[in-house]
Amino acid sequence: MSSKETWMRQIRAEIGVVAKADGSAMFEMGNTKVVAAVYGPREVQNRSQQLNANALVRCEYTMANFSTGDRMRKLKGDRRSTEISLVIRQTMEECILTNLMPRSQIDIFVQVVQADGGTLSACINAATLALANAGIPMRDIVTSCSAGYLNSTPLLDLNYIEDSAGGADVTLGIMPKLDKVTLLQMDAKLSLDTFENVMQLAIEGCKAVADYIREILLENTKQLQYRRGT
């Protein structure tokens, strides 16, 4: 299938946008722009949460007031933000080798600058890049993409208008090398066959993002080598 429904929006990423963070990245999927910053591994701030055998992974998702079409009243800690923070934390925790950094804390902060559908996917992709930039050991990168089903057609990478149209929205996160699904979310209903098609489409999208992310990381490493003079 190479018709327009299976095209992703343009993706663009940049590493190291927050100089003071241990690792950071900016990820854009179409008009959705997200900045992720990683602080850690560092000393646990709240001793009662310290884990003796693993690193503690924490995550906060925030949306800027101006990120959506209607200006929103700032609700930090509202239910949607809390849920998305939890989802991102669980997804990234899976791929970080937390047993290598016991009694430490890794903070992942994700800030949505502009939201136009697929914010969760963009956040996960940005977090992956930021963790890699921070040099935190991971099993594999995690990439994410969304797909939907409108007018009897599977669509890849929905924007806000398509997402609000009432069809299904499947968000998928995979670890491409290990070929494992770490995140799967869907709302609305789909028949099993349709779901398989849509999920397959989302997996293709995730793999495309993974290729792009690897390119960015390779380019970044070459830059570092060049600056070291090797």
Partner 1 sequence: MAFESRTNGFLHIVYSEMVGLSIGEKYFIQGGIAQDLRTDGRKRLSPRPIFVETGNISQSNGSARVRIGATEVIASVKAELGRPSALHPDKGKVSINVDCSPTAAPMFEGRGGEELSSELSVALQRCLLGGKSGSGAGIDLSSLAIVEGKICWDLYIEGLVVSSDGNLLDALGAAIKAALSNTGIPRVNVAAGASGDEQPEVDISDEEFLQFDTSKVPVIVTLTKVGRHYIVDATSEEESQMSLAVSISVNRQGNICGLTKRGGAGLDPSVILDMISVALSVSERLINTLDSQRAAAEAGKDEL
Radius of gyration of the chain from Cα atoms? Answer: 18
Nearer to partner 1, 35 or 174 (CB): 35
- Euclidean distance between CA atoms 44 and 104, whole angstroms: 5
Count of residues making up the chain? 230
12-71 residues in contact with partner 1 (CB under 8 A) are 17-21, 24, 31, 33, 35-37, 39, 45, 60, 62, 64-69, 71
Applying CB under 8 A, does 6 fall inside the site for partner 1? no
Residue 43 or 179: which CB sits closer to partner 1?
Answer: 43
In the complex with partner 1, the residue whose CB is nearer, 116 or 157, is: 116
Q: Does 203 bind partner 1 (CB under 8 A)?
A: no
- CA–CA separation, 219 and 10 (whole Å): 19
Interface with partner 1 includes 109 (CB under 8 A)? yes
Question: Tokens in use for 80?
Answer: 């949607």
Are the CB atoms for 144 and 124 separated by under 8 Å?
Answer: yes
What backbone phi and psi angles, to 5 degrees, belong to 137? -65, 130
Applying the rule CB under 8 A, the residues between 79 and 108 that interact with partner 1 are 107
For residues 104 and 80, the answer to whether their CB atoms sit within 8 Å is no
Tell me the closest approach of the beta carbon of residue 135 to partner 1, in angstroms: 18
Report the amino acid identity of residue 139. Answer: R
**Does residue 77 bind partner 1 (CB under 8 A)?**
yes
Q: Closer to partner 1 by CB, 73 or 189: give it.
A: 73
